[in-house]
Amino acid sequence: MAIRSHRRSLRKRRTLVVSTAAVATAGLGVSLFVMNANAGTVDLFHQTLAAKDGWASSGTGTTGGTKADTAHTFTVSTRAQLVKALGSASDTTPRIIKVTGTIDANTDDSGKKLTCADYAAGTGYSLSAYLKAFDPATYGRSKLPSGTQETARAAAQAKQAKNVVFKVPANTTIVGAPGTKAGILGGMLQIQNVDNVIVRNLTFAATEDCFPQWDPTDGDDGNWNSNYDSVTLRGATHVWADHNTFTDAPHFDSANPKYYGREYQIHDGALDITKGSDLVTVSRNQFTNHDKTMLIGSSDTDSVGKLRVSIHHNVWKGIVQRAPLARIGQIHIYNNVYDVTTVNGYAPQYSINSRAKAQVVAENNHWTVPSGGKVAKLLSGDGTGSVAGGGNLVNGTTTDLVAAYNAANSKKLKTTVNWTPTLTAGLETSAKNLPVSLGTSTGAGTLS
């Protein structure tokens, strides 16, 4: 059974924060302790997901690296240190990784900054040559790129991936040290085919692919597709992502050029949950300045019986779509704040998309919709997905989002689901105060 977390009770009671300097002086090591008269002492780096806090609390719960010994407790501030602390992706030894400051993934082992040109060097790739080789006017639109320049592009992309993809092993806790503006710049945490991982208090920014691939068969006009989500779950189980911030900053999509008439997209997902991932809780994060934000299920044939995800107390602002896009699974979306105002050129298309028979329960969320915005565009679907639940507010008024969507669309959302959420610790029965309460309690840097 997961050890119960005290993070909610701490907000309700008087707390005393003991500085790391004081703790170190006392001979307890540099860590963070929050003392509470009723709850005792809570160590942020050993904190585990509370009982009944969403799908990730199911079964064995999510404890991350709480059992780590001293030899597997690391403090890291560089890319090389992070790689060493993560070790082998197949090593299941519990480990705790404390991140201090911002780690730039696009650096070499000595800390030297690497650019797209560095990754392309020696591969034969150049964007101008690639554009000439696959111009639809001469190459056509019926097949994927192949040949010398596509091979070179893939080689350059592989060089970048070697630097920016961090493979997370099972039984790992990765936490940003409070007060250090902890985060990962330009990198991706890959949580693949492992169990029991915690990721907290980190800012993920500027996760960018130097070498997007042109796909002329993607849609009517083709698309540029990139790799690298800031955090990607592939076949992962028992994962808790909490109090993180996800953003494209400082490079927004509005600055992307167009080639072949299509946006040269260098960003992929922020937090994607795919390929049979299961038992995931996503709580108290901020998602901002991003297009394709959260994908649950990589295709309409992903994994039946899995993709069970709880999404609660998050803030979504400046998001174009996929908040989330859900396929197949049982997804509980509650007590979130959605602000669908356009920010930095990110103009919202929809918030929640339920498709491929997804069973979504969305309740007690709060939407802020600017003047002229249409409630019917807050949801989306393919005619097979369901969205149940109630208590959702739009600009403070209780609103039936599904009814508004179905009235305006031929492919209707279903209104019943095949499950009832029970892992609902912390569920607030009213969304009225969420814009205020979540404004200062979500995202990286708010844990102390």
Query: Which residues are catalytic, by number?
Result: 322
Helix (H) or strand (E) holding 276: none
What is the helix (H) or strand (E) element at residue 37, kind and residue range?
A: none
Torsion angle of C-alpha atoms 228, 230, 236, 238, degrees rounded to 10: 180
d(C-alpha 4, C-alpha 224), whole Å: 45
What is the helix (H) or strand (E) element at residue 43, kind and residue range? strand 40-43
Residue given tokens 């309700």 in the structure block? 12
Question: Strands 397-398 and 393-394: what pairing?
Answer: antiparallel
Question: What's the rounded Cα separation, in Å, for the pair 330 and 327?
Answer: 9
Q: Under a CB-based contact definition with an 8 Å cutoff, are residues 295 and 269 in contact?
A: yes
72 touches 94 (CB < 8 A): yes
DSSP letter for each residue of 181-239: --EEES-EEEEES-EEEEEES-EEE----SSPEEETTSTTT-EEE----SEEEES-EEE
Supply 141's token pair: 């639109």
Count of CB atoms within 10 A of residue 87's CB?
15
How far apart (Å, rounded) are the C-alpha atoms in residues 289 and 316?
9
What would the two tokens of residue 272 be? 């994607």
| DSSP SS3 for 104 | strand
The CA-atom distances, in angstroms, between 293 and each of 45, 46, 224, 288 are 27, 29, 17, 9
CB burial class (10 A; 0-12, 13-18, 19+) of residue 115? Answer: exposed
CB 189 within 8 A of CB 166: yes
What tokens were used for 206? 């500027």
What the block records as the tokens of 85 is 């602390």
